[in-house]
Structure 1
Amino acid sequence: MGALRFILFLTFGFVLFGSKWTVSQPYQQGQVPCLFIFGDSLVDNGNNNRLLSLARANYRPYGIDFPQGTTGRFTNGRTYVDALAQILGFRAYIPPYSRIRGQAILRGANFASGAAGIRDETGDNLGAHTSMNQQVDLYTTAVQQMLRYFRGDTNELQRYLGRCIYYSGMGSNDYLNNYFMPDFYSTSSNFNDKSFAESLIKNYTQQLTRLYQFGARKIVVTGVGQIGCIPYQLARYNNRNNSTGRCNGKINNAIVLFNSQVKKLVDRFNKGQLKGAKFVYLDSYKSTYDLAANGAAYGFEVVDKGCCGVGRNNGQITCLPLQTPCPDRTKYLFWDAFHPTETANILLAKSNFNSRAYSYPISIQELANL
């Protein structure tokens, strides 16, 4: 079935097959029936494992504290969305789409891919990955797969998907592995900070709109965190021209521009551009800044170095295979050059869930209850 035809089919429910079908009890768990995840390595849980890519984490010590061991998560244990799923009441982690079979798709899927970005070419320097456009394509395929479990009743499927939570966290790699990598990409020559952010938002608008056309109604969209302060940047940045300390102020300033545009996009969507949808913006920049600035209050003793890695700040290379990491991961904000530890991910998920301190215009909990 073609995409346009299916959009009409899904939206208006022209054809009904058989009687109504009720989702079986195992999928009616938690506060929402399903969770769909789009993003990059911050939330990838194994989709890159079989790809020819440097952006893979299917080896020790990654997953050293995860119950299932090494799965392809880019941290020592749970990711942000793992923690979020648990808070939402899911009894099991949302699986990577690459390994989902049968009715398991009804509980949701993780489409995230390490090195992925809003732009298709983002991350090519690291090898194969699944861009946001490709992730959305996979989701539309998944929706068509789900239709069979509703016996072709598009209205029932629409109602079901409308109760689910959609999480999208994109943009980091468009800066780290594109715009601020001039030796590999031409974007910094073709755009300035403002026009690049506007270009990303134009593409992102189309991508999120397509999710809406295929059933998404409750959508969490995250801003980009304070990536000018991750160990990778601290290891490589010459801070002589940085007025804010050791962080890469140039990157952070560009991120602030992008995030402000994402928040405005959420406003436009909520004010009727996508009828019936409710978007929540997560201020990842502020939440990651606050977590680092108040690290001691959360039990962190190290907020500027990776728990494992190579070179200055353990930030020049990610964790090497079978490398011995720091003994107490709970004392570290960062697991490697780019990614938070499980402890940090859990704290961020808890702080985002039932408070409006980092969410706009409502909390994730309020969104789930709509």
Structure 2
Amino acid sequence: MKSPCPSVSALVRFTLLLLLVSCKANGAVELAPNVSFPAVLVFGDSIVDTGNNNNNFKTSARCNFPPYGNDFTGRIPTGRFSNGKVPSDLLVEEFGIKEYLPAYLDPNLQPGELATGVCFASGGSGYDPLTSQSATVISLSGQLEMFKEYIVKLKGHVGDNRTNFILANSLFFVVLGSNDISNTYFLSHLREMQYDVPAYSDLIVNSASNFFQEIYELGARRIAVLGAPAVGCVPFHRTLRGGIERKCIEKYNNAVVLFNDKLSKEIHYLNQNLPSSRIVYFDVYNPLLDIILNHKKYGYKVGDRGCCGSGNLEVALTCNHLEPTCPNVLDYVFWDSFHPTESVYKKLVPALLKKHIHQFV
């Protein structure tokens, strides 16, 4: 008589496999049985950059040093502009894909990571080519070239058919526009002398539209586009232009609202003209503004200063190991003078996905 052990063992293995699959798929986002997101591919700026600027010593838009990463696993400063995870990481975590989204330019990136997604974002980048040029970072066209290179590598790793499936079913996440309005238009005045606000918003919306169509032509179908946040309420601008009371700069926020409105309408137009496209506008302006202005309602004590240094101006190279950090980062909406804390991202990302996930089906 044969031992029953092999069949029991097989049953155990099968049960464990089911549990593993269940755990992997058990992110906070509930998907229909026939829906999957095999990978997440991210384009954008410092909100979603996971380390692509680390080896670019020509730019000040770097943060691969303490105290950045203070609450990341192992307290490692990875190049994420936060105390911990950024939205890129939370997306793959919510979908149950993996724990972190690696930077495409990470020298330790493994080929096996390609099939589940990478990040092409570069801190300091924008829809306006001048934004990236002035910050000496990877432009949107540069991120597009990296994506093309990624496709070639992915085909070499998993083949053409699987690559096409991954591109058609993955979530493409685009986060840009803040630096254009905040830095290129208002702070440096590089574009303010050439365009009024409506004309400049047209320029960057046109650039955004061209980019969405370019990645669509390369196979992208599910594209999430974040509107710009209320840049007039970040600590940096409140310090420089908010007066003694450090109020939000309404002129900046009004420009963002105009841009977001035009961006949303352009996305609606593209969805009607690009077959099988699912381009979805995510409003981050209102939920984040509510957290900033009504921070106590969300459990925060400070909404107008960052945790790093004085919290008024420190960001990137000026937020470093020589600067003290706040006693409890969970009390703060902002980590530095531009970027929210991991805690805030954990409130925003799941809520946004829950609100919009059905639109990708």
TM norm structure 2? 0.85
- In the alignment, which of 125, 132, 144 is matched to residue 136 of structure 1? 144
Measured after TM superposition, the shift of residue 44 of structure 1 is 0.7
Q: How does 1:290-329 map to 2 (within 5 A)?
A: 290-310=290-310, 313-315=311-313, 317=315, 318-329=318-329
Measured after TM superposition, the shift of residue 151 of structure 1 is 3.4
Provide closer, same or farther for how the CA distance between residues 274 and 29 of structure 1 changes in structure 2, counting only shifts above 3 A.
farther
Measured after TM superposition, the shift of residue 41 of structure 1 is 0.6
Measured after TM superposition, the shift of residue 367 of structure 1 is 4.3
Quick check: 1:46–1:96 contact (8 Å CA) kept in 2? yes
Provide closer, same or farther for how the CA distance between residues 308 and 316 of structure 1 changes in structure 2, counting only shifts above 3 A.
closer
Letter in 2 for 1:164: S
CA–CA distance in structure 1, aligned partners of residues 265 and 291 of structure 2: 25
How many correspondences in the alignment? 325
CA–CA distance in structure 1, aligned partners of residues 210 and 270 of structure 2: 12
CA–CA distance in structure 2, aligned partners of residues 151 and 89 of structure 1: 24
Deviations 1:51-95 (A, max 9, x none): 021000001000000004110111101112212221111233110
RMSD: 2.2
Measured after TM superposition, the shift of residue 124 of structure 1 is 3.8
Measured after TM superposition, the shift of residue 103 of structure 1 is 3.1
Q: Does 1:32 align with 2:37?
A: yes
3-state DSSP of counterpart to 2:279: strand
- In the alignment, which of 211, 227, 233 is matched to residue 237 of structure 2? 233
Counterpart residue number, 2:194:
190
Deviations 1:168-215 (A, max 9, x none): 0011111122111345x2x11111100100011111111111111111
Letter in 1 for 2:91: L
Measured after TM superposition, the shift of residue 314 of structure 1 is 2.3
CA–CA distance in structure 1, aligned partners of residues 152 and 211 of structure 2: 18
CA–CA distance in structure 1, aligned partners of residues 286 and 54 of structure 2: 31
Measured after TM superposition, the shift of residue 269 of structure 1 is 1.7
Q: How does 1:116-195 map to 2 (within 5 A)?
A: 116-126=125-135, 128-153=136-161, 156-182=162-188, 185=190, 187-195=191-199
Deviations 1:71-123 (A, max 9, x none): 01111011122122211112331100002342321111100111011122204
TM norm structure 1? 0.83
Counterpart residue number, 2:93:
86
Quick check: 1:60–1:323 contact (8 Å CA) kept in 2? no
Q: How does 1:64-103 map to 2 (within 5 A)?
A: 64-68=70-74, 69-99=76-106, 100-103=109-112
Counterpart residue number, 2:9:
none
3-state DSSP of counterpart to 2:118: strand
- Percent identity over paired residues: 31
Provide closer, same or farther for how the CA distance between residues 336 and 192 of structure 1 changes in structure 2, counting only shifts above 3 A.
same
Quick check: 1:123–1:177 contact (8 Å CA) kept in 2? no
Structure 2, unpaired ranges of 5+:
1-19, 26-35
CA–CA distance in structure 2, aligned partners of residues 151 and 350 of structure 1: 32
Letter in 2 for 1:48: N
Q: How does 1:311-350 map to 2 (within 5 A)?
A: 313-315=311-313, 317=315, 318-350=318-350
Quick check: 1:197–1:257 contact (8 Å CA) kept in 2? yes
Measured after TM superposition, the shift of residue 224 of structure 1 is 0.3
Q: How does 1:262-301 map to 2 (within 5 A)?
A: 262-271=263-272, 273-301=273-301
Provide closer, same or farther for how the CA distance between residues 55 and 303 of structure 1 changes in structure 2, counting only shifts above 3 A.
same
CA–CA distance in structure 2, aligned partners of residues 29 and 295 of structure 1: 33
Structure 1, unpaired ranges of 5+:
1-24, 356-362
Measured after TM superposition, the shift of residue 238 of structure 1 is 4.3
Provide closer, same or farther for how the CA distance between residues 144 and 337 of structure 1 changes in structure 2, counting only shifts above 3 A.
same
Letter in 2 for 1:60: P
Q: How does 1:44-63 map to 2 (within 5 A)?
A: 44-52=49-57, 53-63=59-69
